[in-house]
Amino acid sequence: MDNYHRKRILITGGAGFLGSHLCERLLKEGNDVVCLDNFFTGTKDNIIHLMDDHHFELLRHDVVNPLIIEVDEIYNLACPASPPHYQYNPIKTNKTSVMGAINMLGLAKRVKGKILQASTSEVYGDPAVHPQTEDYWGNVNPIGARSCYDEGKRCAETLFFDYYREHKLRIKVVRIFNTYGPNMHPHDGRVVSNFIIQALKGEDITIYGEGQQTRSFCYVDEMIDGFIRMMATDDSVTGPVNLGNPGEFTIKELAEKIVDITGSKSKLVYKPLPTDDPKQRQPDITLAKKTLGWEPVIKLEEGLVKTIAYFDDLIKEGRA
Ligand code: NAD
Ligand code: UDP
């Protein structure tokens, strides 16, 4: 692609798990990519292979501070995503979601660019409606340990829709359900990374509660495809749109699958359930199918094999 026709795309949180895959994919598609990150949970290791590409720029910046830059599109992913990471400094998590959204929406307004928000299934809280549809308003504790994240993300959605109504901004909101794959942080405390590392190291596998709570896991490549399709929709499409794999598993089933695939001798052990841990979660993706022609096809076992290979390498390199 010639330089005149290249789009310049800003990815906040670009050195994180999802952000790094998005940087790679958008570069491959012939765009100029500006990867912004404060490296709280992201790492240069995730993007080091992109550094020699002249169409890739890395910007150390914190989204709670305003930014002026010329771009055509913004993917706003900056925010710690795993419960231990987002609860480490809850006030900062909330500022990142809310002030980050204000700053990036302000930037999108200034440059008249399109902006996509990485929202979350956590806006549904511990859902009373199952599977979750976009018109469900959720069941969120506003003052609990998870609220810094859940309410921050809900407020960010509010800001996106107010900018849309007030300023006709071209917004795209996706609600991401649990996603897994290579480049996940080995110590993020999320269930897939914890169980795989425990299984590979022969350590006890820590199931919180009785392991009967459910989650639906989407492989990263398919999630990134959903983001790109959403950004490409015409201006009438704002979302929110659920993105996730509807295959629903109990946490105990996930542990058993990982033990099975790795051939591990690890034992399953039971630990207290964290407060406000959602009991069930499954996306209704009717809207994504209709609007984006998007539907995940990668089976959990298949995605786990690739993710296990990634963590196996990290362990061998002494990085996990
Ligand atoms: P991640 O922690 O790997 O990535 C987040 C990135 O944002 C990191 O690189 C981190 O350093 C950066 N960051 C954090 N605070 C920042 C700040 N103040 N300024 C600049 N950069 C900052 O998490 P992820 O799984 O890649 O998640 C990416 C986005 O997707 C997040 O917004 C998250 O809420 C959302 N999401 C992810 C999932 C999932 O299952 N992975 C599910 C729902 C929503
Ligand atoms: N979980 C678990 N053991 C772990 C980590 C997580 O049983 O070592 C459980 C957690 O309590 C939750 C589910 O797995 O019910 C998914 O947790 P995760 O932190 O990955 O994401 P969440 O969907 O809760 O944000």
Q: Which residues contact 317 (CB under 8 A, 6 or more apart)?
A: none
Percentage of the chain exceeding pLDDT 90 = 98
Task: Give tens-digit pLDDT for 178-211.
Answer: 999 999 999 999 999 999 999 999 999 999 999 9
Give the range of the structural domain holding residue 62, as residue numbers without chain letter.
Answer: 8-177+220-244+278-296
Is 75 annotated in the active site?
A: no
* In-domain check, residue 117: yes
CATH classification of the domain holding 35:
3.40.50.720
* In-domain check, residue 186: no
User: For the chain, how many structural domains are there in total?
Assistant: 1
* In-domain check, residue 304: no
Confidence of residue 311 (pLDDT cuts 50, 70, 90): very high
Does residue 3 surpass a pLDDT of 90? no
Does residue 4 surpass a pLDDT of 80? no
* In-domain check, residue 253: no
How many Å lie between the centroid of ligand 1 and the Cα of residue 2? Answer: 32
Q: Which residues contact 39 (CB under 8 A, 6 or more apart)?
A: 15, 60
Confidence of residue 261 (pLDDT cuts 50, 70, 90): very high
For ligand 1, atom 44, which residue shows the shortest CA distance?
Answer: 120
Going by the DSSP 8-state scheme, the letter that residue 285 receives in this structure is -
Does residue 40 surpass a pLDDT of 90? yes
CA distance 241 to 49: 31
Q: What is the mean pLDDT of residues 226-236?
A: 98
Q: What ligand 2 atom has the least distance to the C-alpha of 211? A: 7
Q: Which residues contact 100 (CB under 8 A, 6 or more apart)?
A: 12, 63, 64, 76, 78, 79, 156
Q: What is the mean pLDDT of residues 154-166?
A: 98
* In-domain check, residue 15: yes
Q: Is 246 helix (H, G, I), strand (E, B) or coil?
A: coil
* In-domain check, residue 153: yes
pTM for this one?
0.98
Quote the mean pLDDT of the chain: 97
Six-digit token string for 168:
């006709």
Q: Is the CB of 78 under 6 A from ligand 1?
A: yes
